[in-house]
Amino acid sequence: MGQDSGGAGGGEVRSPEKIAEACIPSFEVKLPKSPHLEDGKEVSLQKGSDGTYSIILFGQKVGSLNKTLSEMVANCNEMSVGYGGKIVKKKNADEFLARFIRK
């Protein structure tokens, strides 16, 4: 998930219950139109200096998470829980989403 390794000295307890409560299983983010978007391509998350996460495809920013999702991802990273993402083309539409699934 980008360059953010998370982790804290002493660390948080990583109980399945705490992870299930704090880290949603999956989420989707609508992406702005871009010629680089292609169904099935993997994307990653990279934490910015302002604390929000950018959605990265081939080293290029193609979208971003809102503050609420960014805070959730940061908290999950501290519990060693990450998210893997792929681009999904919406059926019957010329729209793309980034779909992230908890690892």
Cα–Cα distance for residue pair 42/22, rounded to 1 Å = 24
CA–CA distance from 19 to each of 3, 72, 98, 103 (Å)?
A: 22, 11, 22, 11
Average pLDDT, stretch 62-89? 97
Q: Is 3.30.70 the CATH number for 16-102?
A: yes
Residue 50 pLDDT > 50: yes
Average pLDDT, stretch 24-43? 95
Q: What is the pLDDT of residue 83?
A: 98
Domain boundaries, the chain: 16-102
Average pLDDT, stretch 50-66? 97
Side-chain-facing half-sphere of 20: CA atoms under 13 Å: 3
